[in-house]
Amino acid sequence: MGLDITVVIADWAWLGEVPERERLLRLRDAWYADETGLWDDDAPVVRGGWERLRGPDAAFFALYEFRDTLGSFAPHFWATHHWERLRDHADPPLRSGLDALLLGLVRDGGPGETDRGFFGDDPKISYGLLLARSPEGVRELAASWADVRPRLDGLREPFDVYRAGSGGRSGGFDAFAGLLTEWGHVLTEAAGRGWGVVGLSE
Chain segment 154-183, per-residue pLDDT in tens: 999 989 888 655 555 567 899 999 999 999
Query: For residues 138 and 140, what is the distance between their CA atoms, to the nearest angstrom?
Result: 5
The amino acid occupying position 33 is A
pLDDT digits (tens, 9 = 90+) for 47-90: 679 987 877 899 999 999 999 888 898 889 888 888 988 899 99
Question: What pLDDT, on the 0 to 100 scale, is given for residue 161?
Answer: 85
- Dihedral (CA of 73, 74, 80, 83) sign: negative
Mean pLDDT, to the nearest integer, of 18-33? 91
Mean pLDDT, to the nearest integer, of 109-127? 79
Question: What pLDDT, on the 0 to 100 scale, is given for residue 166?
Answer: 52
Q: What is the CA radius of gyration of the chain?
A: 17
Question: What pLDDT, on the 0 to 100 scale, is given for residue 99?
Answer: 93
Q: pTM value?
A: 0.88
How many CB atoms are located within 10 Å of the residue 16 CB? 12
Q: How far is CA 106 from the centre of its chain?
A: 8
Q: What is the average pLDDT value for the chain, to the nearest integer? A: 85
Q: Does residue 12 or residue 157 have the better pLDDT?
A: 12
Question: What pLDDT, on the 0 to 100 scale, is given for residue 55?
Answer: 78
pLDDT digits (tens, 9 = 90+) for 134-156: 999 999 999 999 999 999 999 99
